[in-house]
Amino acid sequence: MKKFYVAALFSLSLMAANAQEPNIPMFGGQQNIDVKFDPYVAAPQGFDQQREGIERGTVQLIEYQSESVGTTRKANVYLPPKYDKKKKYSVLYLLHGIGGDEWEWMNDGGVPNIIMDNLYADKKVADMIVVMPNGRAAKNDSRSGGYGSAPAFGEFDKDLIGSLIPYIEKNFSVYTDKDHRAIAGLSMGGGQSLNFGLGNMDVFAYVGGFSSAPNTQRAAQLIPDVEKVKKENKLLWMVCGGADGLLNNSAQLKDFCDKNGVPCTLIKYPEGRHDFVVWKYGLYNFAQLIFK
């Protein structure tokens, strides 16, 4: 698995001009997989725009000790409006892409706090907090670490499950069972979410991949036990741009699921590229489906 991670992420890195997520063109052969996409329904205008007259959540930068990495690491945590320590909340772990860190969703155009605030105002989501960690599990986990830190992406499950989740459950008022945990991410983080979510169904019941990158394992590796996934996974949801060269990574999983009767959603965002237009749409929809 780790060798696959390194090779796949190296291939993705060749397509990137800098530390940001690359705009990846459609490659020849992209449509080899004949898969039935789920219907695309446009998000309402203004879903990602700050609204006046509504209550707002807050974002906290937390630090936790990582046993697997052996250092102190950081994550951003979105707390919903009127966060109440007397209540229990579900948790969505929201992962970044290969060029990002714990700030990518917040600072590079993802506006997760605004999207979630609007969904709360419209009463469209269950009570949850959103944790945005650094998925590069290395002592040098900065963006400046570049693609030389690619193996650390494949090691993040140890940090996530062994250190970050216990920290969140100790320091925030959240449920501690799998039915109240979800994982989703963009690009590299989408591949991580599929790999770690389906690979740890005792930890996560809801799994989402937005424009998942080549680190995504093949479907037969992700789902070696079809009946177990049918029984234990509550949601497997994906979106990818129609003009994104990474569409096949999601399509191969959707095709496998359809052929084996595993519930799975894959939406092809019309003319969508490898950017936050698609990923914001992914968060907006995924957040409404989980913990219900």
Q: For the chain, how far is it from start to end, CA to CA, in angstroms?
A: 33
Contact 181, 169 (CB under 8 A): no
pLDDT value of position 161: 98
Which contiguous run of DSSP H or E holds residue 255?
Answer: helix 247-260
Closest C-alpha among 197, 125, 206, 186 to residue 161: 197
Tokens 């009570």 sit on residue:
127
Q: What are phi and psi of 190, to 5 degrees?
A: -70, -45
Report yes or no on 95 lying in a domain. Answer: yes
Residue 34 pLDDT: 86
The predicted pLDDT at position 251 comes to 97
- Residue 73: per-residue pLDDT: 97
Q: What's the confidence (pLDDT) of residue 8?
A: 47
In a domain? residue 190 = yes
**Which domain range does residue 217 map to?**
2-20+47-289
Cβ proximity of 30 and 248 under 8 Å: yes
Write down the pLDDT at residue 151: 81
Query: What is the dihedral angle through the alpha carbons of 138, 160, 174, 124, rounded to the nearest 10 degrees?
Result: 100
pLDDT score recorded for residue 148: 59
Structure tokens at 44: 């309402």
Which two tokens mark 183?
Answer: 């994982």
Does residue 32 fall inside a structural domain? Answer: no
**Region for 248 from its dihedrals, namely left if φ exceeds 0, alpha if ψ lies in -120 to 50, beta otherwise:** alpha
Residue 258 is predicted with a pLDDT of: 98
Place of tokens 């993802």: 110
pLDDT of residue 22: 56
**Domain-embedded: residue 192:** yes
| Residue 26, domain member (yes or no) | no
Per the domain annotation, does 29 fall within a domain?
Answer: no
**How many helices and strands in the chain, by DSSP H and E?**
11, 8
36 within domain boundaries: no
Give which of 214, 94, 209 is closest to 160, Cα–Cα: 94
Neighbours of 257 (CB within 10 A): 23
pLDDT at residue 33, as a whole number: 80
Total of domains in the chain: 1
**Residue 250 near residue 238 (C-beta atoms within 8 A):** yes
139 domain-assigned: yes
Cβ burial of 261 (10 Å; 0-12, 13-18, 19+) is exposed
pLDDT for the residue 14: 37
The pLDDT profile of the chain, 292 residues, written as one tens digit per residue, is: 444 444 444 344 433 323 356 554 444 334 468 899 999 999 999 999 999 999 999 999 999 999 999 999 999 999 999 999 999 999 999 999 999 999 999 999 999 999 999 999 999 999 999 999 999 999 888 887 555 567 888 999 999 999 999 999 999 999 999 999 999 999 999 999 999 999 999 999 999 999 999 999 999 999 999 999 999 999 999 999 999 999 999 999 999 999 999 999 999 999 999 999 999 999 999 999 999 9
Predicted local confidence at residue 146, as pLDDT: 56
CA angle, residues 34, 38, 43, in degrees to nearest 5: 135
Query: pTM for the full model?
Result: 0.92
CATH number of the domain enclosing 227: 3.40.50.1820
- φ, ψ for residue 114, nearest 5 deg: -70, -45
